[in-house]
């Protein structure tokens, strides 16, 4: 064990069971199950993390009552049909020395969707509406409270019977137990409301029923938001008081932040890269000082160094590193064996993890598309015939293709026309609060190095080079350039694109209009950067709202920052034309003109077009496979996935 991580790899005893290290994969939905049951895809996903050395896996939520179906794909533990799948999953993880718990869950009023498209009937402590999902719940009556409490107990019994090591009751993020705890949501006039003890009654009944339904070796934990980060949510003092009061019924407490009830609070469910790493360390330390039981903390702990520091300071006993494990399942193993430089660090882009969940798609990772696809890509297959492969382009697509192809045994040389690898990642990291995105390039370069890829910089691939090198195959990953559409243009108004701004190739005027077709982070990022540099900026978005195509928590945090900066945003806006100092837009719904006057600079954030000439140049000479933006301009996720799939096909 490296002495630099002595605390991270120190075992921990909980109710007679041993965590081999202090690294936890916290409960997170994967959209992998089918028919609300554990399946082979979910087992393979969790097995990969157990094989990678994680000490504790807390499985995604298991619904405890039919009214707990907050999505159409949630796991349910409401009848005995769930037991066999959970047993197989537990055995797969136990084989690698990993403890396995499951979250027990009822969302209360936090209902996202139903299986058939109809609005569900939601239940809560009181008939107080949810802001985010626009749900007006029914107040629970005593009979249904008793039924739900028994549901927690029956679910725990099934999971215990399946061989899991314990359960974690979800009282975080404004879900049902928190709705009873919160005096602004709980407006009952019976024994479940009043002082703290009355508001804790529901949770106490749940914990007592779980303990009665299992045995003394079964771990029972609780997850709670240290602060719901919302005006109407639980604050730190209220959450801490509740935790202190019920700790006698718990084996550990797990703190997070935020609430599902509001857009601003929900950002903290999966905090994006704009939020500081390990940002709940202080709160963890406060809770730790007041508790007599182990304290777990989750909150953008992306690197083993961050976790080690939290543990060394005595701020927590276990660190949730969920996205770090989504990005690199082998992170614990690499760290324990002194290979920290080889860890593929999560960049908190949220694009393929929680971003997929919000679209109802199976979990993955833009940097590691093997995640969620373990049955397909879990074990790398050596190439049957070794080929000499030339990769043209050192962006994400080209680097992933080169790394995977070389790891499979091919002889691979990657050529990059510029001096620096990274492609558009080098531009993305220049936007405000997006510097961490540059880690995608750093990680891919390390993967290539470990796979012995030969890299040649400052060299553009052309027919003459291919004729000299005579590869068996060329992978074209030549990327894209900014798209400039045809539009009515007269006069002397300065028109530039986002790349020119980021590269400091132009001097931007005082009054700026940014037109954004993609509704992603480029237009808002350019607007924010220019405002911070002292420009007067207006953002016009060809969509219903700013950041329409972004993962929700990234979008909402970004929207909050733009609002704080006072940047005006016009939606439904299509560029029509410009003259000396006026820009003409078209409202995409009404067809009416929108006119912006006294503009000095128009910045185009209108997407990209393929840089795709190489395949035609090499026609008749060698086989060429296109990947990434030269195939079709998309995002880094598709580019890296293209790299993986083409390399697997060789």
478, part of any domain? yes
506 domain-assigned: yes
Against a cut of 0.75, is the pTM above it? yes
**Structure-token pair, residue 637:** 């996720």
454 lies in the same domain as 520: no
Average pLDDT of span 636-643: 98
CATH of the domain at 584: 3.50.50.60
Check residue 2 and give its pLDDT. Answer: 58
Asked if residue 401 and residue 500 are part of one domain, the reply reads no
Mean pLDDT in the chain?
Answer: 97
Residue 262 lies in a domain: no
**Residue 463 · residue 621 · CB < 8 Å:** yes
Question: Is 115's pLDDT higher than 90?
Answer: no
Q: Are residues 89 and 142 in the same domain?
A: yes
**Angstrom distance (rounded) from CA 273 to CA 281:** 16
The answer to whether position 225 is within a domain reads no
If asked whether residues 473 and 494 sit together in one domain, one would say no
Task: Report d(CA 226, CA 489) in Å as an integer.
Answer: 55
Containing structural domain, residue 538: 488-606
Q: What's the rounded mean pLDDT across residues 501-517?
A: 98
For residue 8, pLDDT over 90 is answered with: yes
Claim to verify: residue 534 and residue 553 sit in the same structural domain: yes
Average pLDDT over residues 566-577: 98
- Sheet architecture: strand order including 569-570: 494-497, 601-605, 511-516, 536-541, 569-570
User: 469 and 561 in one domain?
Assistant: no
Residues 87 and 183 in one domain: yes
Residue 144 belongs to domain with CATH number: 3.20.20.70
Q: Report the pLDDT averaged over residues 47-60.
A: 98
Q: Give the mean pLDDT of 50-73.
A: 96
CATH of the domain at 447: 3.40.50.720
Which of 192, 330, 177 shows the shortest CA–CA distance to 260? 177
Residue 231 counted as domain residue: no
Q: What is the mean pLDDT of residues 84-94?
A: 98
Q: Are residues 555 and 473 in the same domain?
A: no
Q: Are residues 209 and 182 in the same domain?
A: yes
Which residues lie below 8 Å from residue 263, measured CB to CB, with a gap of 6+? Answer: 131, 132, 556
Ramachandran category for residue 566: left, alpha or beta (phi over 0 → left; psi -120 to 50 → alpha): left
In this prediction, residues 208-214 reach a mean pLDDT of: 98
Task: Say what the pLDDT of residue 112 is.
Answer: 86
Confidence of residue 161 (pLDDT cuts 50, 70, 90): very high
- Rounded distance between C-alpha atoms, residue 583 and residue 595, angstroms: 6
Span 547-575, mean pLDDT? 97
Q: What share of the chain is helix, strand, coil (3-state, %, to 5)?
A: 35, 20, 45
In this predicted structure, the answer to whether residue 532 has a pLDDT above a threshold of 60 is yes
d(CA 240, CA 288): 10
């Amino acid at each position: 064990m490296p002495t630099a991580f002595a605390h991270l790899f120190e075992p921990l005893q909980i109710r007679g069971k041993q965590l081999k290290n202090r690294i936890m994969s916290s409960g997170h939905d994967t959209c992998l199950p089918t028919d609300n049951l554990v399946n082979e895809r979910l087992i393979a996903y969790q097995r990969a993390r157990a094989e990678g050395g994680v000490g504790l896996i807390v499985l995604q939520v298991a619904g405890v009552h039919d009214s707990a179906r907050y999505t159409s794909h949630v796991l349910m533990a409401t009848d005995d049909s769930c037991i066999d799948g959970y047993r197989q999953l537990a055995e797969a993880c136990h084989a690698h020395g990993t403890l396995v718990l499951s979250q027990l869950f009822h969302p209360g009023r936090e209902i996202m969707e139903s299986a058939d498209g109809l609005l569900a009937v939601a239940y809560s402590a009181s008939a107080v509406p949810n802001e985010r999902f626009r749900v007006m719940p029914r107040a629970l009556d005593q009979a249904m409270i008793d039924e739900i409490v028994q549901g927690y107990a029956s679910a725990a019994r099934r999971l215990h019977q399946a061989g899991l090591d314990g359960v974690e009751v979800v009282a975080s993020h404004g879900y049902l137990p928190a709705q009873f705890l919160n005096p602004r949501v709980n407006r009952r006039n019976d024994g479940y409301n009043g002082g703290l003890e009355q508001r804790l009654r529901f949770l106490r009944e749940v914990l007592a029923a779980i303990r009665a339904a299992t045995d003394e070796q079964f771990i029972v934990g609780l997850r709670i938001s240290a602060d719901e980060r919302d005006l109407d949510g639980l604050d730190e003092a209220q959450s801490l008081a509740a935790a202190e009061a019920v700790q006698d019924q718990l084996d550990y407490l797990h703190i997070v932040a935020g609430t599902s009830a509001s857009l601003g609070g929900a950002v903290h469910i999966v905090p994006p890269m704009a939020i500081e790493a390990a940002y709940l360390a202080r709160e963890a330390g406060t809770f730790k000082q007041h508790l007599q039981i182990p304290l777990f903390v989750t909150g953008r702990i992306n690197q083993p160094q961050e976790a080690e520091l939290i543990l060394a300071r005595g701020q927590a006993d276990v660190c949730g590193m969920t996205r770090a494990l989504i990005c690199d399942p082998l992170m614990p193993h690499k760290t324990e064996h002194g290979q920290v430089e080889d860890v593929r660090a999560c960049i908190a882009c949220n694009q393929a993890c929680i971003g997929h969940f919000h679209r109802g798609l199976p979990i993955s990772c833009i940097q590691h598309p093997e995640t969620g696809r373990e049955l397909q890509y879990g074990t790398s297959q050596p190439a049957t015939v070794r080929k000499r492969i030339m990769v043209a382009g050192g962006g994400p697509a080209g680097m992933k293709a080169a790394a995977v192809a070389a790891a499979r045994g091919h002889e691979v040389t990657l050529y990059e026309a510029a001096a620096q690898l990274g492609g558009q990642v080098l531009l993305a990291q220049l936007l405000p609060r997006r510097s961490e995105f540059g880690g995608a390039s750093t990680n891919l370069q390390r993967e290539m190095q470990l796979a012995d890829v030969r890299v040649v910089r400052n060299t553009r691939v052309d027919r003459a080079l291919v004729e000299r090198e005579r590869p068996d195959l060329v992978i074209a990953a030549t990327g894209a350039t900014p798209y400039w559409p045809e539009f009515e243009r007269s006069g002397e108004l300065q028109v530039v694109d986002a790349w020119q701004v980021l590269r400091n190739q132009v001097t931007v005027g005082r009054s700026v209009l940014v037109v954004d077709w993609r509704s992603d982070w480029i237009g808002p990022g350019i607007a924010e950067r220019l405002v911070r540099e002292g420009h007067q900026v207006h953002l016009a978005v060809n969509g219903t709202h700013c950041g329409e195509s972004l993962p929700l928590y990234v979008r909402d945090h970004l929207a909050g920052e733009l609002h704080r900066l006072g940047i005006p945003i016009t939606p439904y806006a299509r560029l029509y034309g410009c003259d000396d100092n006026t820009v003409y837009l078209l409202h995409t719904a009404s067809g009416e003109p929108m006119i912006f006057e006294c503009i000095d600079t128009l910045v185009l954030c209108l997407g990209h077009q393929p840089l795709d000439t190489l395949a035609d140049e090499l026609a008749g000479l060698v086989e060429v496979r296109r990947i990434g933006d030269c195939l079709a301009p998309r995002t880094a996720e598709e580019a890296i996935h293209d790299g993986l799939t083409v390399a697997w096909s060789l």
